[in-house]
Homo-oligomer: A and B are copies of this chain.
Amino acid sequence: MFSQTTEYALRAMSWLALSPTQLVPTNQLAERTKVPPHYLAKVLQQLAAADLIVGRRGVRGGYKLTRPAADISLLTVVRAVATVERITTCPLGLDNHGPNLCPLHRRIDDAAKMLIELYGGVTLQDLVSQSERKPLCDKETTARLTVSAGRR
């Protein structure tokens, strides 16, 4: 469905949402999201450029979210690395189309509308607040996260 980059961006942001208050080391992020480190570095740069994460680049670097997970929708994450916009005028620039899209671009716009509605209403917090199953986590990690959250 999504490009590799989009999938990786969603994975990285989901993992960061599990530890919202601390810098997560980049190597841990790569390991847990199972994203190749060099690819992940590029994705993290894009997420930082979109002001979704802040941190330090490099081998000893790490990142955290710039704002609460409840304030970051999945749509915001996708848009940091891909274009998801409604089509408001003919992409071919045909004069007599203008905002009256042809049947093809109407359908492409339908898909954009659908994704915007679906992902605009779900936040990273929604993903991580389910009690039993955490994104990207095996049983052991989930248990550790639950204990850690309990200690706060």
Residues of A within 8 A of B (CB): 1-3, 7, 10-11, 14, 33-34, 74, 83-85, 91-97, 100, 102-105, 107-108, 110-112, 114-115, 118-119, 122, 126-128, 130, 133-139
Contact = CB atoms under 8 A, between A and B. Distances in A.
7 contacts: A1-B83, A2-B111, A34-B93, A96-B139, A100-B133, A103-B134, A104-B127
A107 B92 contact: no
What is the count of identical protomers in the complex? 2
B107 A127 contact: yes
A111 B104 contact: no
A137 B139 CA distance: 55
Given A1-B85, A2-B111, A111-B119, 14 more contacts: A1-B84, A1-B112, A7-B108, A10-B108, A33-B92, A34-B92, A96-B138, A103-B126, A103-B128, A107-B127, A110-B118, A111-B118, A114-B115, A114-B118
